[in-house]
Amino acid sequence: METFPLTPLDHDPDTEVVMAQPTLQGTLLTVTREGDRLVLRDDDRRVELTGRLATARECDRIGDSYLLLVDEERGRNACVVDANGAVESEFSLGSHCGALAVDADRRVWGGYLGWAIPWEHPAGADATGRTGVEYWHPGVVRWDEHGEFHWVAAVDSGVPVGACYALDTGPHGVIAVTDADEPVLLLDARGRRCGFGSGLVGPSAVAYDGRTATCVGRYKPVPRGEKRRGHDVVTRLDMVTGDLVEVGALVMPDGGPVPELRRDYGRGTTVTVVLGRPRRA
């Protein structure tokens, strides 16, 4: 089996890394916890996040600013902050948002957990033209930067989608791994373009280079007492033909097994891995 060894990234070993996300601008956006605050680093920028902003669990660039997914307060769980950490705007992405990514046109894509039944969203946010619709299991939702949504995978994709496991809004398009029968979905502003990967369940990250989707992680039922669930499996799919390109294993730089307790982030040709689980603020 092909192996994919990780490459270590420079960081201060005394700081807790919360996330490490490749950006569309070609930088690596890292968030570390330092005392009671989070510190966001992006190229030569250093942004301190305090108070409610220090609860951020997802972050991405939106233009020259940053979009944070934070703990809810009065329903507003999305905050846009500038390079100085000042809040520019805030709105709600609805309930049960588990993944967040911004594309090159500043569209905000949210990936939702499967227990959003029904999905709670702010009044007046539905800009699809539908009225009186109750959304169950939205899966993936496309928002604008002002807090209105324009596309819901569960209704608009043409396939039954209930949950989203991973998102990549890289330079080659938007790709999501869902619980659909063909779970790896290539998306655009109008909806679903194609879907492949039958049988692929529960990846933790996806990266798309314009032809091949690289998915990290794969849920596998195991006998009682065994811990390994395919969390290290790497599956690569041709998103034009649907063919399986290869299956391999993610390994540590020394060739050893990767820990199951980690967070994975994908964009374009890059997958970053943060070992461990961050403590909550």
> What pLDDT score does 202 carry?
84
> What pLDDT score does 247 carry?
94
CA quadruple 58, 59, 62, 64: dihedral, nearest 10: 170
- Residue-wise pLDDT for 118-135, tens only, equals 898 988 999 999 988 888
CA quadruple 138, 139, 144, 149: dihedral, nearest 10: -10
Residue 150, amino acid? H
- Nearest partner of 234 among 254, 264, 211, judged by Cα: 264
Beta strands in 92-242 (DSSP E): 97-102, 108-112, 140-143, 149-152, 164-170, 173-178, 184-188, 191-196, 205-208, 212-216, 233-238
> Predicted confidence band at 6 (pLDDT cuts at 50, 70, 90)?
very high
> Predicted confidence band at 272 (pLDDT cuts at 50, 70, 90)?
very high
**What is the average pLDDT across 61-67?**
96
- Residue-wise pLDDT for 20-51, tens only, equals 999 999 999 999 999 899 999 999 999 999 99
Domains and CATH numbers, the chain: 2-120+135-275 (2.120.10.30)
> Predicted confidence band at 229 (pLDDT cuts at 50, 70, 90)?
low
Distances (CA, A) of 30 to 43, 99, 144, 187: 9, 16, 24, 26
Query: Whole-model pTM above 0.85?
Result: yes
- Nearest partner of 184 among 243, 141, 143, judged by Cα: 243
> What pLDDT score does 196 carry?
92
